Amino acid sequence: MNLRALLDKKNIILNLNVESKKRLMEFFANRLAISHISIDEDQVLKSLYQRERIGSTYIGKGIYIPHCRVEGLTTTRIIIITLKNSYYDDTVNDDIKIVVGVFFPYKTSDIHTELLKQLASFLKKAETQKYFEEAEYADALYKLITKEKDDEEPTK
């Protein structure tokens, strides 16, 4: 899985201060709409909720992978968020600490299912969990999860 092709460093947000799944979904929709002018924020939010109604996107270990197809998106995009304070989600009986939003072009093949499986497997690994716990800067986390060499100073 080539995360470098799907993840922009600016879409790694560490220590976001939100207290509910609703606020997280709103943040994702806003973030995607701001970075892609052809995308309607309300439509992204609606698509995220429609997908969640099909079934939970919780994968265990305090991690959610909300995902949906997005009209106007031309390539798959990933947004990674760690939470400043975890919040308890009673629907899964766990504290949520990491949320990875995955957004697919509306007309995508079934390959997106395979990407989600690979991403879930990667996120559940002990080594990956350690990356998330130890990263102080978005650049540092990006380098760790994409295996990029550390050749420049981190930025916040």
Looking at domain 3-146, its CATH superfamily turns out to be Mannitol-specific EII; Chain A (3.40.930.10)
Q: Can you list the alpha helix ranges (DSSP code H) found in 1-156?
A: 3-6, 21-35, 41-54, 111-124, 126-134, 138-146
Helix axis angle, 126-134 to 111-124, nearest 10° = 70
**Which helix (H) or strand (E) segment is 69 a member of?**
strand 67-70
Report in angstroms the alpha-carbon separations of 80 from 27, 38, 90, 107, 151: 11, 21, 22, 23, 22
d(CA 93, CA 75): 34
Residues 126-136: pLDDT tens digits? Answer: 999 888 988 88
Residues 13-70: pLDDT tens digits? Answer: 999 999 888 999 999 999 999 988 889 999 999 999 999 999 989 999 999 999 999 9
d(CA 80, CA 44): 16
Token pair, residue 52, equals: 């969640």
Residues 100-140: pLDDT tens digits? Answer: 999 999 887 777 888 899 999 999 999 998 889 888 899 99
Residue 81 has pLDDT above 90, yes or no: yes
Residues 25-40: pLDDT tens digits? Answer: 999 999 999 988 889 9
